[in-house]
A = this chain, B = another copy of it.
Amino acid sequence: MDGATAAQRHLEQFGARFLHDFVTLLQIPNVTGQLPDLRVNATEIARRFEDRGAKMEVVELEGSSPVVLGELRCERPTATIGVYVHYDGQPVDPENWTYQPFSATLLSDAIHNGGESLSLPGDGEAIDPIWRIYARGASDDKTPLAVIPAALDALVAAGIDRTVDLIFLFEGEEESGSPNLERYMTELAPRLEADAWLLCDGPVHQTRRPQVSFGARGYSGFELTMYGPERELHSGHYGNWVPNPAFELARFLAGCKDDSDRVTIEGFYDDTVPVSEADRAAIDALPPVEDALRRELGFGGSEVEGSTYPDRLMLPSFNVRGIRSAEIGEGARNVIPSRATASVDMRLAAGDDPDRMVDRVDSHLSAAGYTVLDRDPTPDERRSHRRLARLDRLPGYRAARIPMDSPLSWTLLDVCGRASGEEVVALPTFGGSIPLYLFEDILGSPVAILPIANHDNNQHAPDENIRVANLWYGVALWATLLTTDFSPVPAGGTQGSTLR
């Protein structure tokens, strides 16, 4: 029996127990930065892997959320594979969720398809693969923490030996920008040696076909605040004499792109590695998804007319993730606001440097006549400068990619194909940001991304969810991977692994 079959038989018998165990894991709140909650998650996760024979340890460096570290060896390993997962989730605003984010509710289908809440099935009851579980962390990124233990159980039940040694590194502050991952990796490096690392994050392809990503975008970003009068002023008495910071912020942001949505910040695209011929071929082989996505996500046209989705991922982005000044709607008042803030994230392509990207924004502000501070101005500074801006840098990191034509890449594509019985999508770069570069720089390992979640999982937004079919795929994927012969993959991974 192969791993995928073992997974299938196990879920036929114990699928209900699997869902129950996953729901209880999701019910532990995991908002990034909420240390007491995150500690509870770490302990519970370690316990679940220990129950499957792994040696686990919760390690907490001062001033950080703990990592869960572990290893699970086998008798005749063909490779050592590191598994990185993050167990923290994005902040939640429960008012915007249909079901409470930490109640972990099972639904008969997606909410947008009219799905309704269900009781969890009992042992042996039928489970429909279109069901979904709604919870923060359901897809980003507690999924692997449920499917790997289930895959281990399935192999034990089927009496199949594993062929891979596993190293675990589960992080608790990825959604805060992984500010301490480098410290953890450096400190724990001797215990993190592996031939390759796999990151289990993000969604499979929009066609619902399985996917392997050979890189991920980097991350950079900033919060930008502009200042008006020291306190809000009556817009009748002072409107169009006292400068309005909401307008000035809008003007600055608007000036960061031209009419065809190309970023005009000087040097913004200068460091980006051009798309290679191999990338070009991979991109051209991707199934077209634009029209289907547009219908599904509900918008009328792409940012840049005629551009394809995978092509846009090869360039750095400039995304206003939030903007705020005074109030709108019922709470709106007739004032000149005192300040206005925009929060911007920039997804980086290979070659882009996170600090340099914000440096360029800083220069763009200076060129527009702003005095740039890293704190709120003093009253005196407000009085003596017509244009004052505060620029707060968000923690970031560079993009990383591995070549698509290597033994590791071929093996991973093969694993996903056997686990799913479907044609696998090979993506040059994943759209989301994951600190892959640390695995390359500190651990000297190649990294690839094996996603499990459905693409319509509302990751980072209200109503995050995962489809049962994707959970089942995840169990099959790991049962297959753990019984695969990795010996063609050279120790320490593939050569020439990083494409900066």
Contact = CB atoms under 8 A, between A and B. Distances in A.
Contacts of A88: none
Contacts of A318: 240
Contacts of A233: 297, 461
B323 A322 contact: no
Interface stretch (A4-12, A184-192, A328-336, A472-480): A328-336
A235 B217 CA distance: 11
A328 B303 contact: no
Given A242-B297, A300-B382, A319-B244, A328 B341 contact: yes
Interface residues of A, number: 99
A460 interface: yes
Interface stretch (A38-46, A126-134, A142-150, A384-392): A384-392
B298 A431 contact: no
A459 B231 CA distance: 11
A244 B203 contact: no
Contact of A325 (B294, B323, B329): B323
B342 A300 contact: no
A309 interface: yes
Interface in A222-277: 223, 227-244, 246-247, 249-251, 253-255, 257, 261
Interface string A105-129: 0000000000000000000000000
Contacts of A249: 250, 323
A354 to B, nearest CB: 14
Nearest to A90: B333
A39 to B, nearest CB: 20
A326 B322 contact: yes
B383 A312 contact: no
Given A229-B297, A323-B324, A329 B347 contact: no
Nearest to A261: B240
A363 interface: no
A18 to B, nearest CB: 26
Given A231-B297, A254-B250, A323 B320 contact: no
A243 B318 CA distance: 11
A378 to B, nearest CB: 10
A465 to B, nearest CB: 11
